[in-house]
Amino acid sequence: MLLKPGRERSVLNRHPWIFSGAFQNIPVNLSDGEIIEVLDSKNNFLGYGHYCKDASLTCRMFYIGDRIVINDHFWLTRFKQAYEFRKQLGFAQSTQGYRLFYAEGDNLPGIICDVFGTHYTLQLKTQGAQNLKPLLVQFLSSLGLSEANTECSFVEDNLKFFVDAVQGQKTGYFLDQRDNRRLLGHYAKNKRVLDVFSYSGGFSLYALANQATQVTTLDISEDALKLCEKTVQANFDKPLNHELLCGDSFDYLRELAPGSFDLICLDPPAFSKNASTVQKACRGYKEINLQALKNIAPGGLLFTFSCSQHISKELFRQVIYAAAKDAGRFVRVIHELHQAPDHPVSIFHPEGEYLKGLVLAVQSL
């Protein structure tokens, strides 16, 4: 498919996304998921990509360079490279739960695969990725993995976690927060901890494992809290000062008594799914952070996150600044947080960096 004049610039810069307006014309007989050749306006070959029918993001490129043969060997080599990269980082040894394939971050657009013990979950976001499923299953089977079609479990830092691979959020567990859970555990000792938008309570588990004096786990999903309760019971023999609350996080934060908690974690779902909802999302982020900053105990720590791709790090920090200003507290940034390294970001595809977070030390003025 031919690009319009000047539209080859992003491809030459190795960005893998091409939108419909960049092409001179799109043949009507192309099948969804078909491998296409991408050419510049002068007919020079640029690379290969998967055609995405009826989508504004019309082509996801998986190879940029000279013509080569795209066959099973090509894809199996890509899969193996991603696996060897995780081994190099130590994930296959240090934890039973890690992201094996991260789409553009592994030159595998549309393919996401998480490993939980001896099981895996797949998210195949394009037809081109769907077409590769038999080969993916073959490769994953060669690693001794089977597809998770029910609840499974894995061990992370000597803690056992349960994964709802069918009905659960995301791929069943938020592996991207692994390093940030560890950091929260480091600070949790002797603190009263509130885990907001908790899902199955990953941050709560690390707080409990690191001798927090009190942990409150809050989520709107009863099923998520049941999974959290099961996880707590599997990891701790003695009764703990742990409370599960099912309810609206916005309402709870607004009604929170000042000084109730020394450490608050805000890890909401993506408030913005597209560019048109960014302003509304920012209002949501400001509200929850304002209430947390107003009501956290003096000397407290706030772990706050956004996983909205359309909210940049700079915009998120501006929102936190506005919340801190209105809260009337002295706030200092002590850590900048991001997704774990098994979610690598291609330098050519900054859109892959979606998770951003801050740890804030909060005092009275």
- Residue 111, in any domain of the structure: yes
Q: Is the pLDDT of residue 167 over 90?
A: no
Q: What is the pLDDT of residue 288?
A: 97
Question: What total number of domains does the chain contain?
Answer: 3
**What does the alpha-carbon distance between residue 192 and residue 355 come to, in Å, rounded to a whole number?**
25
The answer for residues whose C-beta is within 8 angstroms of residue 216's C-beta and 6 or more apart is 192, 193, 194, 195, 242, 243, 245, 261
Q: What is the pLDDT of residue 365?
A: 74
Same domain, 207 and 110: no
Same domain, 200 and 282: yes
Q: What is the pLDDT of residue 169?
A: 59
Q: Residue 131: how many CB atoms within 10 A of its CB?
A: 17
**What does the alpha-carbon distance between residue 99 and residue 174 come to, in Å, rounded to a whole number?**
10
- Residue 313, in any domain of the structure: yes
Q: What is the pLDDT of residue 207?
A: 97
Q: What is the mean pLDDT of residues 227-254?
A: 93
Same domain, 135 and 228: no
Q: What is the mean pLDDT of residues 70-88?
A: 97
Contact (Cβ atoms closer than 8 angstroms) between residue 165 and residue 227 = no
Q: What is the pLDDT of residue 81?
A: 98
Which CATH number is 215's domain given?
3.40.50.150
- Examine the fold and report which residue of 118, 153, 188 is the final residue of a domain before the chain moves on: 153
pLDDT of 175-198, one tens digit each?
999 999 999 999 999 999 999 999
Q: Any catalytic annotation for residue 228?
A: no
The contacts found for 333-339 with CB under 8 angstroms, 24 or more apart, are 333/358, 333/359, 333/360, 334/301, 334/359, 334/360, 334/361, 335/183, 335/359, 337/179, 337/180, 337/183, 337/303, 337/305, 339/176, 339/177
Residue 309 structural domain: 174-364
- Residue 169, in any domain of the structure: no
Same domain, 247 and 118: no
Q: What confidence tier does 170 reach under pLDDT thresholds 50, 70, 90?
A: low
Q: Is the pLDDT of residue 152 over 70?
A: yes
Mean pLDDT rounded to a whole number for the chain? 94
Q: Is the pLDDT of residue 248 over 80?
A: yes
Same domain, 191 and 293: yes
Same domain, 246 and 359: yes
Same domain, 189 and 335: yes
- Residue 165, in any domain of the structure: no
pLDDT of 91-136, one tens digit each?
866 679 999 999 999 999 999 999 999 999 999 999 999 999 999 9
- Residue 310, in any domain of the structure: yes
Q: What is the pLDDT of residue 260?
A: 96
- Residue 188, in any domain of the structure: yes
pLDDT of 306-356, one tens digit each?
999 889 999 999 999 999 999 999 999 999 999 999 999 999 999 999 999
- Examine the fold and report which residue of 89, 119, 153 is the final residue of a domain before the chain moves on: 153
Same domain, 215 and 265: yes
Which CATH number is 92's domain given?
3.30.750.80
pTM: 0.93
Q: What is the mean pLDDT of residues 290-304?
A: 97
**What does the alpha-carbon distance between residue 193 and residue 207 come to, in Å, rounded to a whole number?**
7
Same domain, 196 and 83: no
- Residue 274, in any domain of the structure: yes
Same domain, 26 and 146: no
Q: What is the pLDDT of residue 39?
A: 97
Same domain, 56 and 193: no
Contact (Cβ atoms closer than 8 angstroms) between residue 122 and residue 136 = yes
- Residue 163, in any domain of the structure: no
Same domain, 23 and 82: no
